[in-house]
Amino acid sequence: MDASRLVPSWMRLVHQWYAEMTGDFWRKCILCLREYGGHEWRAHPGAIPDPIRGVGHVLTICPNCTRAGRAAFQPSL
């Protein structure tokens, strides 16, 4: 079990520290601009395909957007 699952998602500073300590990324979601770490992201069916990198690659979005079903929406660039 990943230790980050024991920390509530609203504790952003703890999640940021955990991401930095484990070498995961820390970036803003392309849909809602909420910051999240690589340890929180999981590849889910329906993720946004990456039009630049091609087949097998996806654009990451935060867990909140994933749970809300926003993966079906394309980001505005």
What is the predicted pLDDT for the residue at 42?
A: 66
Residue 16 lies in a domain: yes
- Tell me the residue range of the domain where 19 lies: 3-72
- pLDDT per residue, tens digit, the chain (77 aa), is 455 556 666 788 888 898 899 998 898 988 889 888 888 876 655 567 778 888 777 788 888 887 777 665 555 55
Residue 77 lies in a domain: no
Check which CATH number belongs to the domain holding 10 and give it. 3.30.40
CB 41 within 8 A of CB 22: no
What is the predicted pLDDT for the residue at 75?
A: 52
**Per-residue three-class SS string for 24-75:** CCEEECCCCCCEEECCCCCCCCCCEECCCCCCCCEECCCHHHHHCCHHHCCC
Query: What is the reported pTM?
Result: 0.63
Closest CA to 40 of 75, 6, 74, 72: 6
